[in-house]
Amino acid sequence: MRQIMMLISVLLLRGVVMAGNQISGVVIDNNDASLLVGVAVMLTDEAGKQVGGVTTEANGRFELKDVANGNYVLKCSYVGYEAFTISLKQIDKNVDLGKIRMKSGAVALDEVEITANMVVQKLDRQLVIPSPAQKKAATNGVSLLQYLQLPNISVNSINKSIATNNGETVQLRINGVEVTQAEVMAVRPEDVIRIEYHQQPGMRYGGAKAVLDYIVKRRDSGGSISSDLTNGVNRLGFGNYQLVGKYHQGRSSFTALMDWSRRDLEWNRENEETFHFPTKTVVNSEKVASPNRVKYDYITTSVNYNYTNGKESMLNVALRSNIKDIPYSFTDRNSILYQEDRIYEVKDREQSKTCIPSLDIYYQLNLKNNRHLYFDVVGTYLKSNNERTYSMTEQGVPQVETYSKTEGDKYSIIGEAIYEQPLWNGKFTAGVKHNHATMDNVYQSDVNSKVLMNTAETSLFTEFQSKLGQLNYIFGLGVMRIYYKQGCLTQEKYFFRPSLNVFYNLGKVYLRYNAQMSGYAPSLSALSDVVQPMDAYQVRKGNPGLKSVNYFTNHLSVSSRMKCLNLELSARYSYDKKPIMEEVIYENGMFVRTFDNQKGFHRLNLQANIQIKPYKQYISISLNPFFNRYISQGNKYTHTHSNFGFRGSVVGMYKNWVVMADMKTSYHELFGET
C-alpha cells in the first residue's frame, strides 16, 4: 500500500511539473487604451523556434499555458501596429505581463495569413484591413472600397462618388491628410495597410457625417505611372479617365494626377405644374418636343509634395485645380406646354463654368510622450459664370423671353490647428478653425446689380476620450461664431456645441451612441436679395434676413461580427430648429420662390446592414434595407414623406477573377416643399 501511495505521489508531482507555467497579459492600444482583439501572440525559445502561440480574446486577454522553465521571447503582432517584443528570462513560475501597449504604425502582419478583411472595433473608428484577394481585385482606392462593403457607405459605380447611404458627403483622407475623390482614385490598393472608418466622427472633423482615412505604405525610392480608363459604348458620350504619376526619393514623394469625367447624353423630361392665382388656376402640362441634351466636362488636376521626417513630422503641400464646364444642363428642356386650349413651345437653356484653383498646406508634428500638433491652411479662389435663357412662344410668336447672367468671384481661406495628447487613461484633443470668405457677384437681367458679401466662421473645441471598464466615451465641448455682412446688413451668432460618443463592448456585440448639437449659416446664394426670372409665372429671390440655424442629431447602432455574418442595426433622428427652407409668395402678379426660417424639420432614418460570407473569402453579399421619414414644418405648410428602400451588392472573387453586381432602389428626400 505504501508503495502504491508513493507511485501516485510521483505521478502527481510529474503532472504538476509537466503542466508548466502560464504567461498571460492584456493587449491595448497605446493611444486610447482600447482593447485589441485578434492580436497574434507568439512565444519562441532563444533559438527562435516557436513553442506556443495564441490570439487575444474579446477582452484583449491572452494566456499561454504549459510553458516549461527557461528563457523565451514573446512577440505581439497586429495589422497596422508596430510589433511588440519582450524577452522573458528564467521563467519558472506563472507570469502576468499586465497591460501591453501597442503603437499604431504602418507595419504589416506577416506571421498570420489574412483570408478576409479584418475589422478592429475602436471607440472613435473601425480599423478595416483589406484581404490580399480584395487588394488584388481592386484597381484603385475607390474600387477597393466597393469590395469592402462597409456599412452605411455607398459607392456610385458610374461616377465613383463616395457618400453615406443617406447621400451625405464623406470626408476622405490619406495618412491623415484631407484629399479629393480623384486622389483616392489614385491610391494603389497594394499600398493600403488599412482604412480607418469613422462612422460618427469627432469634432475635429468639422461636422463630417463620416470619415474614411486610407493608411498607406510609404516608399522611399522608385516611381510609377498608372491610368484608369472607362468609356461608355453609346451614340453620344460617357467616360471617366485618370492618369497618375508618382515618384519617391528618400523622405520626399511627388504625385501628379489628371482626372477627367465627361458626359454627353440625352434624356426626356415631362412636367406638370399647377399655379393657384387669386382669381384663377392655371395648369401647365409639359410633354417632350425633342430629347434634352446633357453635356459636361469635369477636369481635376493636382500636384502634391510630401516630406516625411521619420516619426517626427510630416509636411504635405497640394496645388489643385477643378474645372467644371456645363454647356447643357440637367435643367434644360425643349418641350410642348399644354394650357387648357392653348399650346406653347418652351425652350430653357442654362450653361455654366467654374474654375477653382486651391493651395493646401498641411503640417504634422509628433512630439514626445505621444503628443501631436496638426496645422492645415487652405486658400481657394472660385471663378464662376452662369447664363440662362428661357422662351415661351405660341405659333412662333414670342410670349415670354427672359435672360439672366451671374458672374462671381469668391476668395476664401481656411486655417486649422489641433493639439492632441494622452491624458490619464484616455486622450485629450483641442483645436481651433477659422474660415473667412469674400464674395463679389454681378447679376445681369432686367435689372443689373452687384453684391458684395463677407462671411466668417470660427470654432473652438475640446474633446476628452476615456473609458470605464467596457464603457468607452468621448465628451466634447465647443463654441462656434458665425458672422456675415452684406451691404449695411450685419449678422452675428454664437452656437454652443456639446457632443457625446459612447461605445460599449459586450464581446461580440457592440453598442454605439452619438449625440451632438451645433448650427449652420445660410448659404451665400440664399442671402442675396437679387431677383432673377424663372419663367412666365415665377421669379427667384434670396432673403438677406435669414438667420443661422440650430440643429440636434443623435444616432444609435448595434452591431455584431461573426465568422460568416456581420450585422448592424442603426437608427438616427435629427431636428433642425427654424431651418432655412423654401417658400412661395404671390407678389405683383408673380410667384416669388424664396427662402425663410421655417418652423422645423424632422428626419428619421432606420436601416440594417447585413453582410453574409457563405463561402470563405470567395463570396460576399451585402444587404441594406432602409426606411426614411421626413416632416417639414413650414410657417404656412406641413409636408410629410416616407420612403422604404433597399440596396444590395454581391462580390465574387476567385484567383484572378472578380465579379460584382449591385442594385439600388430610388432614395427619396423631402426638405421644405421639394
| Confidence tier at 80 by pLDDT (50, 70, 90) | low
The pLDDT value given to residue 16: 41
Higher pLDDT, 627 or 238: 627
Whether the predicted pLDDT of 145 surpasses 60: yes
| Confidence tier at 18 by pLDDT (50, 70, 90) | very low
Whether the predicted pLDDT of 106 surpasses 50: no
Whether the predicted pLDDT of 624 surpasses 70: yes
Q: Which helix (H) or strand (E) holds 362?
A: strand 342-367
Residue with grid cell 493587449, as numbered in its chain: 27
Phi, then psi, of 473 in degrees rounded to 5: -150, 155
Please give the average per-residue pLDDT across 77-95, as a whole number.
85
| Confidence tier at 32 by pLDDT (50, 70, 90) | low
Distance CA 479, CA 491 (A): 17
DSSP per residue over 409-421, as a string? EEEEEEEEEEEEE
Whether the predicted pLDDT of 184 surpasses 90: yes
Going by C-alpha positions, the residue among 208, 248, 242 that lies closest to residue 228 is 242
DSSP 8-state class, residue 189:
G
What is the identity of the amino acid at 381?
Y
Handedness of CA 297, 669, 569, 104 (dihedral sign): positive
The pLDDT value given to residue 127: 86
- SS3 assignment for 523-554: CHHHHCCCEEECCCCEEEECCCCCCCEEEEEE
Cell numbers representing residue 418 in the block: 489641433
CB 160 within 8 Å of CB 239? no
Report percent pLDDT > 70 for the chain: 94
Whether the predicted pLDDT of 501 surpasses 70: yes
Task: Please give the mean pLDDT across all residues of the chain.
Answer: 87
Handedness of CA 132, 138, 140, 141 (dihedral sign): negative
CB 119 within 8 Å of CB 126? yes
3-state secondary structure at position 311 = coil
Strand partners, 52: 43
Distance CA 382, CA 411 (A): 7
The set of residues, in sequence order, having a beta carbon less than 8 Å from that of 609 and lying 6+ positions away, is 151, 152, 566, 567, 568, 570, 622, 623, 624
CB 503 within 8 Å of CB 510? yes
- SS3 assignment for 563-618: CCEEEEEEEEEEEEECCEEEEEEEECCEEEEEEEECCEEEEEEEEEEEEEEEECCC
DSSP 8-state class, residue 35:
B
Range with the lowest mean pLDDT among 12-26, 203-217, 435-449, 611-625?
12-26
The pLDDT value given to residue 449: 80
Phi, then psi, of 616 in degrees rounded to 5: 50, -135
Distance CA 140, CA 185 (A): 5
CB 67 within 8 Å of CB 96? no
Going by C-alpha positions, the residue among 604, 602, 584, 606 that lies closest to residue 593 is 584
Whether the predicted pLDDT of 112 surpasses 50: no
pLDDT in tens, 265-314: 888 878 888 989 998 898 989 888 888 889 999 999 999 999 999 888 99
CB 649 within 8 Å of CB 145? no
Residue with grid cell 524577452, as numbered in its chain: 87
Residue 30 CB-density burial (10 A; 0-12 exposed, 13-18 middle, 19+ buried): middle
Q: How many helices (H) and strands (E) does the chain have?
A: 5, 42
Higher pLDDT, 537 or 324: 324
Characterize the bridge pairing of strands 171-174 and 162-164. unpaired
Q: What beta strand segments (E) does 2-145 contain? A: 21-29, 40-45, 50-55, 61-67, 70-77, 84-91, 95-102, 118-121, 126-129
| Confidence tier at 58 by pLDDT (50, 70, 90) | low
Please give the average per-residue pLDDT across 75-84, as a whole number.
81
Distance CA 290, CA 266 (A): 10
CB 479 within 8 Å of CB 459? yes
The pLDDT value given to residue 356: 96
Phi, then psi, of 449 in degrees rounded to 5: -150, 160
Task: Check residue 430 and give left, alpha or beta (phi > 0: left; psi -120 to 50: alpha).
Answer: beta
Task: Check residue 250 and give left, alpha or beta (phi > 0: left; psi -120 to 50: alpha).
Answer: left
What is the identity of the amino acid at 117?
N
Whether the predicted pLDDT of 86 surpasses 50: yes
DSSP per residue over 232-282, as a string? --SSSEEEEEEEEEEEEETTEEEEEEEEEEEEEEEE---EEEEEE-SS-EE
CB 376 within 8 Å of CB 361? yes
Cα angle 455-458-459, degrees, rounded to a multiple of 5: 150
The set of residues, in sequence order, having a beta carbon less than 8 Å from that of 515 and lying 6+ positions away, is 499, 500, 552, 553, 554, 555
Strand partners, 296: 263
CA 78 to chain centre: 25
Distance CA 178, CA 430 (A): 19
CB 362 within 8 Å of CB 369? no
